[in-house]
Amino acid sequence: MSDNRRIATVTQLNNFIKALLDQTPVLSNVWIKGEISNLKLHSSGHIYLTLKDEGAVLRAVMFRSAAGKLGFRPENGMKVLAGGRVAVYERDGGYQLYIENMEAEGQGELYVRFELLKKQLGAEGLFDQARKKPIPRFPCTVGICTSPTGAAVRDIINVLRRRCPSVKAVLYPCLVQGEGASKSVVKAIEYFNAVKGADVLIVGRGGGSIEDLWAFNEEATVRAVAASDIPIISAVGHETDFTICDFAADLRAPTPSAAAELAVPDVADIKRQVGEYRSRLSVRLREKIVGSKRTLELLSARAGKETFLRSLGEKQMSVDRLFDRISGDYKSILEQSQRRLSVEAGRLNALSPLGILERGYSVAMAEGRAVRKLEDVTTGDEIWTTVSDGRIRSIVTDKEGAK
Amino acid sequence: MTVKFEEALKELEITVKKLESGETTLEEAMELFEKGVGLTKECHKLLEAAELKVTQLVGGEELAFDADNMG
């Protein structure tokens, strides 16, 4: 069987196409405009991505050696300009762009400068959280570094007037774009610091293109913001505009109006708060008084009853004690008396003349007195002699002395 | 708006909390109340707003700045 077909292996075909592309000079150095998608930052350091526009996609790779020189961090959706060569990747049977250089399209040069400076100052620690100063809650004076003719200053003043009219605002008129703008903003920041002219600074301007906002991406401005002793709120452009000053500032506000809101408290809020404290004081004091009164009533009610019972008990006790004492004394006195009585009775009994008379003695009495001696009587006297059972009357007839 | 205000407000806060702690005698409570009311008045006084004063630095001098009539 004759075979006129040309047969080649896959490898042969891919090699053939590869050779064709390699031999096309224009493909060895092209700049392609597109949007990044399917971005993959590989741990090897290589970057894999797809460039796309409205109609087509192109696979691309950026090897580590080239990726390391990138001045910014690529992201999905970013519009870029990628330069390199187009070649076949035989294994996948596809062609791709081998990127040597890449820049963010449009912003291009400025964008790269932005990223480079941000990286450099970040590495110096200018954006460290530890450096951030707290924004005072109740500033006396707000310093404003912006253009005296822009919308930003008007917005800021309006918000200050609405929220906190007791604050003082001092505007240092600045150029905020074009030649000399950075220098002007730096001067304003330095002025406020030199004279300690404000408690907080608002540094910024309204929205604009990256070129318009550039003064806030210049190294001198960023360093002045970072070096300020007075806390700085940055307020450049709109919500989506980021400048390097935003990173160096103590607080970033999305807009100048928002910066003013962050700089001062809302007096109406504080008045409400003070009013609330005031009413809490009243309520608590009233509660305290009512509570104390109730406690007092309870206590006094209890005290009345208890005191009565206690004093009653005490009286009972003292009555008992007195009774004990009295009855004890009485008993002992009685016993003592009985004892003494029986002793005396014994003695009395012993001394009783009746007993002596029983024993045969008798007592002679003359004129009511016991006769003891001869001289107690004279002859003719009447003598009564008491014996155990009566008396005998005698007349003295003779006296005779004892021998 | 001053540091004095911040201190007064803080003191007021502390006074209210002390009174609310309920660990006070009636006499202490009355004292705290009086102190709190005094602080309230002081806070209000400090908050009583004059017109916002805006000045502009011109040649090192502060001049009144009319925000409504600017370009």
Q: Phi and psi at residue B67, in whole multiples of 5°?
A: -70, -20
**Do residues A222 and A202 make contact, with C-beta atoms less than 8 angstroms apart?**
no
Distance CA A265, CA A270 (A): 8
At a CB cut-off of 8 Å and minimum separation 6, what does B26 contact? A288, A289, A292
Rg of chain B on CA atoms, in Å: 20
Residue carrying the six token digits 């970013």: A78
- Among candidates B6, B51, B57 on the partner chain, residue whose Cβ is nearest the Cβ of A171: B57
Which tokens is A201 given?
A: 């600074």
pLDDT at B69: 53
- Among candidates A157, A164, A292 on the partner chain, residue whose Cβ is nearest the Cβ of B54: A157
Distance CA A219, CA A186 (A): 10
Which tokens is A318 given?
A: 């003292």
Triad A244, A45, A93: Cα angle to 5°: 125
Distance CA A344, CA A402 (A): 37
Q: Does B14 lie at the interface with A, CB-CB under 8 angstroms?
A: no
Interface of A with B (CB under 8 A): 136-140, 148-149, 153-154, 157-158, 160-161, 164-173, 191, 264-265, 267, 270-271, 273-275, 277-278, 280-282, 284-285, 288-289, 292
pLDDT at A319: 67
The confidence band for B36, taking pLDDT boundaries of 50, 70 and 90, is confident
Yes or no, beta carbons of A148 and B65 under 8 Å apart: yes
Q: Does B1 lie at the interface with A, CB-CB under 8 angstroms?
A: yes
Residue of A nearest to B51 (CA): A165
Specify the pairing of strand A94-104 against strand A141-146. Answer: unpaired
Q: How far is CA A16 from CA A26, A88, A97, A195, A332, in A?
A: 18, 10, 18, 76, 147
Distance CA A152, CA A177 (A): 13
Instruction: Tell me the H-state helices in A249-400.
Output: 256-263, 267-351, 353-358
pLDDT tens-place values along chain A, 403 residues long: 557 888 889 999 988 999 999 999 999 999 999 989 999 989 898 999 999 988 999 999 999 999 888 877 788 888 888 999 999 988 888 999 999 999 877 556 677 788 889 999 999 999 999 999 999 988 989 999 999 998 999 999 999 999 998 889 999 999 999 889 999 999 999 999 999 999 999 999 998 877 888 999 999 999 999 999 999 999 998 777 789 999 999 999 999 999 999 999 998 888 899 889 988 888 888 887 777 778 777 777 776 666 767 767 777 777 677 666 655 555 666 676 667 666 666 665 566 666 677 777 788 888 888 888 888 888 888 998 888 788 889 899 888 887 6
Q: For CA atoms A115, A213, A258, A248, give the dihedral sign.
A: positive
pLDDT at A212: 86
Triad A137, A139, A142: Cα angle to 5°: 130
**Do residues A157 and B68 make contact, with C-beta atoms less than 8 angstroms apart?**
no
pLDDT at A247: 94
The confidence band for B41, taking pLDDT boundaries of 50, 70 and 90, is confident
Of A116, A122, A119, residue with least CA distance to A104: A116
Q: pTM of the entire structure? A: 0.56
End-to-end CA distance of chain A: 213
Triad A39, A40, A44: Cα angle to 5°: 150
Of A199, A198, A202, A196, residue with least CA distance to A174: A202
Yes or no, beta carbons of B19 and A278 under 8 Å apart: no
For residue A365, the SS3 value is strand
Find residue A86's DSSP bridge partners: A97
Specify the pairing of strand A200-205 against strand A141-146. Answer: parallel
Distance CA B71, CA B68 (A): 9
Distance CA A240, CA A402 (A): 164
**How many Cβ pairs closer than 8 A exist between chain A and B?**
124
Residue of B nearest to A283 (CA): B20
CB atoms within 10 A of CB A143: 28
Distance CA A81, CA A103 (A): 5
Residue B70 reports pLDDT greater than 50: no
**Do residues A235 and A256 make contact, with C-beta atoms less than 8 angstroms apart?**
yes
Distance CA A165, CA A265 (A): 10
Yes or no, beta carbons of B33 and A161 under 8 Å apart: no
pLDDT at B71: 39
pLDDT at A106: 59
Q: Phi and psi at residue A217, in whole multiples of 5°?
A: -110, 5
Yes or no, beta carbons of B57 and A285 under 8 Å apart: no
pLDDT at B4: 76
For residue A370, how many C-alpha atoms fall within 13 Å in the half-sphere facing its CB? 5
**Do residues B28 and B19 make contact, with C-beta atoms less than 8 angstroms apart?**
no
Of A33, A123, A114, A128, residue with least CA distance to A73: A114
Of A33, A25, A89, A30, residue with least CA distance to A61: A89
Yes or no, beta carbons of A278 and B32 under 8 Å apart: no
Find the helix or strand (DSSP H, E) in which A192 lies: helix A181-194
B 25-54 near A (Cβ less than 8 A): 26, 29-30, 32-33, 36-37, 40, 43-44, 46-54
CB atoms within 10 A of CB B11: 16
For residue A343, how many C-alpha atoms fall within 13 Å in the half-sphere facing its CB? 6
Q: How far is CA A276 from CA A165, A270, A282, A285, in A?
A: 21, 9, 10, 14
Distance CA A323, CA A278 (A): 65
